[in-house]
Structure formats: structure tokens, C-alpha cells
Chains A and B, each alone.
Chain A
Amino acid sequence: GAVVSQHPSWVICKSGTSVKIECRSLDFQATTMFWYRQFPKQSLMLMATSNEGSKATYEQGVEKDKFLINHASLTLSTLTVTSAHPEDSSFYICSAEPPGQGNQPQHFGDGTRLSIL
């Protein structure tokens, strides 16, 4: 159980393009999902917490107008990187936490490797 699906796995596109990444919880409902970014050989960095039916909560230093998050249903959150530039190239990973007493682990999607040319 607790499967999270992320799509696409790889994206290569030109500078200035907007890219949408989808994150789905397949066998549970997730009121909260999380978006992370990880540069090569660096730590996992939380970008934002996605809340179903309300605005996302962004971490300090993350531009909310550049990284648009939509959590329209209990099983789907999307991250759109708007007008992507080469410095946005990174590994983007989503996670979701099954409902419970707060003792549930976050389960991760397989990640999206984004390369901006």
C-alpha cells in the first residue's frame, strides 16, 4: 500500500517553457502533499507543502509565482515550473502522507528529472 505515482520521469525542454509535474496518491487520500527539489550530491530540500483545497505553503526562498502548486483533489497535486531556465534544472520529488495520527511516513514518487536547455 501507500503508493505515490509521479509523472513524467524525465523532461528536457527549452528555456522559457513551462513544465507541469503530476503527483498522485494511488491507494490513499492525501490532504497534504509535499514537493522537494534535490540538486546533484546535495540534500533533499522542501520547496512547499501542498494542501488540498487551499493555497500551498512555500518554504523561504521559493518563488511561489515561479513554482505553481495546485492540489485540486485528495489524490492529485501538480507542480508547474513556469518559464523554466537552466538554473531550474534539478530532480523534483513529491511525497504524500497517508492519514493517521501523525505517525505515518511520507511516501515518495519516483521523481522527475528536469533538464532545461
Chain B
Amino acid sequence: GQNIDQPTEMTATEGAIVQINCTYQTSGFNGLFWYQQHAGEAPTFLSYNVLDGLEEKGRFSSFLSRSKGYSYLLLKELQMKDSASYLCAVKDSNYQLIWGAGTKLIIKP
């Protein structure tokens, strides 16, 4: 079957750096997406990786290793507003999006 694993919950301190990992086993691969979802709101798109390596967007970066079936989302200079759930999703060979359960990130002052 198809599976995406990410930690259920993580805690970090304001101003620090946090890395949220995602591992996947899917039938084919056509890209990996990271989304942010604040409580009670819809998800918003953060980043996309299809080739190995690091994609940087301001305070957020996303890394992909296709051979390892692994990605991470790196958040720098954490702010209280970064408290949210972070969802990893992979497009399989049929371009169907497979979702992880999400990682709830708690930022403490």
C-alpha cells in the first residue's frame, strides 16, 4: 500500500530552528508537497520538490531525497504564528495526491 509517515507532534522554541521529517512509500513519484494548516483553517501551499535537493523560500526550506523516500521541512527563526500542522503529500504515478496525517508544531516562547 501507499504510506506517508511524519511525526504526530513536535515542540520548538520561538527563534529556534525545527526540522519536520516525512518518509514515503508510494507507487511511483511525481513530486512532494508541503502544506501548512492552522487550526480551524484550510491548508495553504508551502513548497514543492520533484528533484533531489533543497528548495528555499524565505524562512522555510524543503529537502528531498528520492532514493531514500525522504523529505524534510526546515523552519528557521521560528515565530509564534508558525504554530500549525504541517502536511506532507506525495503525487504517485497516477498523479494522485497521497496525504500524510500531519505534524502538529507547537511553538513555545
The chain A residues found within 8 Å of chain B, CB to CB, are: 6, 34, 43-44, 46, 91, 93, 102-103, 105-111, 113
Interface bin, chain B: 20 to 34
Smallest Cβ-Cβ distance to B33: which chain A residue: A105
CB < 8 Å A-B pair total? 41
* A107 to B: closest C-beta gap in Å: 7
Binds A, one of B19-27, B70-78, B94-102: B94-102
Docked-complex contact A102 and B45, CB < 8 angstroms: no
Contact for B31 among A43, A103, A110, CB less than 8 A: A103
Docked-complex contact A109 and B50, CB < 8 angstroms: no
In Å, the complex CA distance between A113 and B35 comes to 20
In Å, the complex CA distance between A6 and B102 comes to 23
* B2 at the A interface (CB under 8 A): no
Docked-complex contact A102 and B30, CB < 8 angstroms: yes
